[in-house]
Structure 1
């Protein structure tokens, strides 16, 4: 069953606020852009802005695709190995994104990396991502919430992906290579790398 009119309107408003904010950040700079300017550009009141995002910082940091990714992960068949299910869910979500959504996500990631206060605050958001993934893994594996192995696995996945991406902010190829390396138990060979 699809989303109702009210839910679709909320999603459109949220997307409009974020799109206008990213446009203003690119034009004026993150620090120079106010919530009031974002609200005006999105044709909403500042109080409406705060109903959608608790702060300007959270507008940038919150990853709207994490819950979608977890849902896609949980929808994978039970007999599919966990890392394969995770990879398939990422491929599905990124594959369903429009070019505009991909561009907006790239702009969001670049902004986070370019603004020191956002880069530092991203640690809290990464912890939220790890929590979401750990809950999804625990549920998939029939383990209790907060399970140590599920949490460690989620941290290893998120850390591996973050470490592998570098400046390739949304490279599915690099994510796949990182997950393969993780699945193989991080096998370093003895050859010298130049």
Structure 2
């Protein structure tokens, strides 16, 4: 990373830290972009260049960990699907920021309609990107049922691992939590809903 990129990343982190402090102290609706710019000691135009809207500020680092499609695209094309999905999950988990204020910020997101809706948009876009890239690797359309089930199961596993890691004291490596969950999935014998014709044969 060059000097320019390093400075930009430092400014971005500073903005996110200041915004988090203000959101937690005042609430989402009560905090303005002008207050954030003033506290971060930057011009409002600079703030809007980094974050065009306030909802993107409170989502900040949370949305970075949801980019599974982006992580998958960076993997070698010749990796077998099971291995590439495990590596994708690990890459997404590695992007987590060990933010001690995460739970409080997530609560603000959950009770604030605008960032909550934006988070859903980010999630849906991320899911579509994962399905598109996975379909390309599997030689199938993104809306193929096999692709959709594989992608959405992967996302569910990601959510479970993330929840378990955040609920702990963060002393257990994320890779260990992922391996524990994947091992449990292998041995789970998961019961799925049965199609009507299958029930009729039973």
TM-score normalized with structure 1 length: 0.68
Equivalent residue number for residue 118 of structure 1: 115
Deviation at 1:135, TM superposition (A): 3.5
Structure 1, gaps ≥5 residues long: 190-194
Change beyond 3 A, Cα 1:93–1:157 = closer
C-alpha RMSD of matched pairs (Å): 3.7
Deviation at 1:112, TM superposition (A): 2.3
Confirm or deny: 8 A CA contact 1:76 1:89 kept in the other structure: no
Change beyond 3 A, Cα 1:68–1:167 = closer
Equivalent residue number for residue 191 of structure 2: 188
Higher relative contact order (CA 8 A, sep 6+): 2
- Match among 142, 147, 152 for residue 147 of structure 1: 142
Whole-angstrom distance in 1 between the partners of 2:189 and 2:121: 26
Confirm or deny: 8 A CA contact 1:39 1:46 kept in the other structure: yes
Deviation at 1:81, TM superposition (A): 3.4
Deviation at 1:103, TM superposition (A): 1.1
- Match among 125, 133, 140 for residue 128 of structure 1: 125
Larger Rg: 2
Equivalent residue number for residue 81 of structure 1: 81
Structure 2, gaps ≥5 residues long: 168-173, 193-202
Equivalent residue number for residue 171 of structure 2: none
Whole-angstrom distance in 2 between the partners of 1:177 and 1:73: 23
1:83-108: CA deviations, max 9, x gaps? x43333433454576xxx31168254
Confirm or deny: 8 A CA contact 1:61 1:125 kept in the other structure: no
- 3-state secondary structure, aligned to 1:32: coil
